[in-house]
């Protein structure tokens, strides 16, 4: 089982410089795929799951997302 089964990370062909994340708690969010990009997250209301490619959560390793999840889990 994944450490955070309620979190899913996606890539979008129309937003290639961003990550898209979904959780039951926060809904859909988009943030830049760069160092500390998580601090610039914004709601992503236009998410179409059929158009998104799921990717492993670790791929957002330097964005601050994983650190935020660790803090929340503690």
Task: Write down the pLDDT at residue 73.
Answer: 54
Mean pLDDT by 10 residues, the chain (74 residues): 71 94 91 95 87 92 84 57
- Extents of the domains making up the chain: 7-73
d(CA 15, CA 68): 22
- pLDDT number for residue 48: 84
Strand order in the sheet with 18-23: 42-43, 27-32, 18-23, 7-11, 53-55
């Amino acid at each position: 089982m994944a450490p955070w089964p309620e979190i899913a990370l996606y890539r979008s062909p129309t937003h290639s410089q961003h990550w898209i994340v979904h959780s039951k708690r926060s809904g859909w969010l988009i943030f830049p795929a760069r160092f500390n990009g998580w601090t610039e997250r914004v709601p992503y209301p236009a998410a179409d799951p059929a158009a998104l490619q799921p990717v492993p959560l670790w791929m957002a390793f330097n964005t601050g997302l994983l650190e935020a999840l660790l803090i929340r889990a503690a």
